Amino acid sequence: MSSLGASFRLARAGWVLVREGVVAALPGDQLTGLPKFGWSVAKLFTRRRARKSVRSDRLANAVARLGPSYVKLGQFLATRPDVVGDDIALDLALLQDSMATFPMSEAVEAIEGSLGRKVSDLYISIDAPIAAASIAQVHPAEVDTPDGPRKVAVKVIRPGVRRRFFQDLESYFLAARLQERFVPSSRRLRPVEITETMAQTTKIEMDFRLEAAAYSELGENTRDDPGFRVPSVDWERTGRDVLTMEWIDGVKLNDIDGLRAAGHDLKAIAATLVQSFLRHTLRDGFFHADMHPGNMFVDAKGDIVAVDLGISGRLGKKEQRFLAEILYGFITRNYMRVAEVHFEAGYVPRHHNVAAFAQAIRAIGEPIHGQPAETISMAKLLTLLFEVTELFDMQTRPELVLLQKTMVVVEGVARTLDPAFNMWKTAEPVVGHWISGNLGPQGLLIDARDGLGALMSLVRQAPDFAARTERLSRQIDAMAENGLRFDAETAKAIGKAEARYNRSGRVALWVIAATLVYVAWKLF
């Protein structure tokens, strides 16, 4: 029944996308066979008013009809231009996560249920919501402190959003499995794994304790950084369904006139924004992954204050080095070193030729030299780089795609603040400092210390490794003598899983076919 429900929801979503003209707006001229026929039929079923609108408006209308979970799907896919393409990713990025507010009584119920205390015991006062999104809404409130009343922002989960999301998630997984099965060319993009990543990301985003922890971590990392901070968290009034944090009075970064009226230096803010983002990625390996201008304020002191940390990104030490050496390699025109970094990191399979890969990278780097620095986009450079790596079988790296997407947004905001913004000159102090500290003598000492620590850990685990090796050796001998055997329960579970997989695919196809027949009958 779960698969049947997912099939009906998937068919409904497809019908909405067809009627709102989203499918017809896709580039289908190059298609052939059945896909081309489906695209042509979708154009016939498009609403008349939808045919006159641009693709971004069609997407917005479709998402509005499908509900909050599809807003999150669109926002997630906007971070994956490698999956949906750059043009569609830009359209999806324009989706406004703005929904109708829900009643105050439901917000109070969510707060009291999550924190186990009466709202009157937690807050001096709590007012009507001032903003609502697909997952939560925000209320201004006041709390009592030893220094007197203090204004706070209270973020409250939307009632029923988890149940709705998990229902729609079944449809997303069904669509991903069908795509992998019937569109072999899409398997390289790993649609099922992408859906799993989205599911995990949204689960984290719907637990406000984890968002509070992200605020705390980023706050500790940036405690001594100039010009950037995040709100402090009120942990006493924070739970799974409610997040209470410092109230921010400031001007949003997308309010250019307001920033000028407040007397802020727009060029200085642009430089601080980019340098802060690079510090977070290179130094800390932890960054705010949704840094659009609506999520950033400038306070009275001129500091950038970032909010809405539901989506964050992490880079391991290998990825931090990857990013720094790529940027430094392009600055110094050392294309061979940039290519070697890709191979050392394991991003490009070893069967490819390093020199040929360096040649492809040179084709990206050479055109930017000789141009005015303010016209060279670091984000565009990374986009071109990832396009080239696809030619050399580089697998999709979600953490790098998220980094690329965030850098595109940050650089775009900086150029809005300062049209003559010089990305390279601004980035050089941060990148150069990281290079000298991590790839010079000091970096070698740090690597040696980490290597020694790993070696000591390996020595401590040696007895356990020896025991496990002995057990594995006995099991291999037994398999060689008796063959590989499954117990009855394992064989039964494999059979059930295979039957369920085949059945869900057949049910989905029949439901979609029945829906199309019904629609054609109603229309004609």
Q: Report strand pairing: 286-288 vs 312-314.
A: antiparallel
- Residue 221's pLDDT is 95
From the candidates 224, 290, 464, 487, give the one annotated as an active-site residue: 290
- Cβ contact 330:368 at 8 Å: yes
CA 126 vs CA 92, 393, 518: distances in Å: 34, 54, 50
The pTM of the full predicted model, rounded to 2 decimals, is 0.74
Query: CA 21, CA 47: separation in Å to the nearest integer?
Result: 7
- Cβ contact 291:379 at 8 Å: no
- Cβ contact 383:254 at 8 Å: no
- Residue 1's pLDDT is 44
3-state SS class at 386: helix
Handedness of CA 219, 428, 405, 88 (dihedral sign): positive
**182: buried, middle or exposed (CB in 10 Å: 19+, 13-18, 0-12)?**
exposed
Q: Which residues contact 427 (CB under 8 A, 6 or more apart)?
A: 274, 275, 278, 327, 378
Mean pLDDT by 10 residues, the chain (524 residues): 72 83 74 73 78 74 78 73 68 68 94 95 95 89 93 94 85 83 72 80 88 96 94 96 95 92 94 93 90 89 92 84 78 84 80 88 78 66 69 69 78 87 82 73 54 63 71 70 61 61 54 52 48
**310: buried, middle or exposed (CB in 10 Å: 19+, 13-18, 0-12)?**
buried
Known catalytic residue at 290:
yes
Q: How far is CA 136 from the centre of its chain?
A: 18
Q: Which residues contact 184 (CB under 8 A, 6 or more apart)?
A: none
Query: CA 146, CA 198: separation in Å to the nearest integer?
Result: 42
- Residue 523's pLDDT is 47
Looking at residue 395, the DSSP 8-state letter turns out to be: P
Q: How far is CA 58 from the centre of its chain?
A: 23
In 3D space, the residue among 368, 363, 407, 411 whose CA is nearest the CA of residue 388 turns out to be 363
In 3D space, the residue among 392, 409, 488 whose CA is nearest the CA of residue 94 turns out to be 409
Query: CA 228, CA 245: separation in Å to the nearest integer?
Result: 17
- Cβ contact 98:133 at 8 Å: yes
- The number of beta carbons lying within 10 Å of the beta carbon of residue 43 is 15
The residue whose two tokens read 């009958």 is: 521
H helix intervals, 140-244: 161-182, 191-205, 208-221
Q: How far is CA 28 from the centre of its chain?
A: 27
Residue type, 124: I
- Cβ contact 154:139 at 8 Å: yes
- Residue 266's pLDDT is 94
Residue type, 47: R
Query: CA 68, CA 80: separation in Å to the nearest integer?
Result: 19
Query: CA 155, CA 352: separation in Å to the nearest integer?
Result: 50
**Cα atoms in the 13 Å half-sphere on the side-chain side of 446:** 10
Looking at residue 333, the DSSP 8-state letter turns out to be: T
3-state SS class at 306: strand
**421: buried, middle or exposed (CB in 10 Å: 19+, 13-18, 0-12)?**
buried
- Residue 464's pLDDT is 72
CA 374 vs CA 319, 378, 421, 433, 487: distances in Å: 26, 10, 5, 22, 66
- Cβ contact 86:210 at 8 Å: no
Q: Report strand pairing: 228-229 vs 304-306.
A: parallel
Sheet order of strands, 228-229 included: 228-229, 304-306, 296-298, 251-252
Tokens of 443: 């970096």
Q: What are phi and psi of 308, to 5 degrees?
A: 60, 75
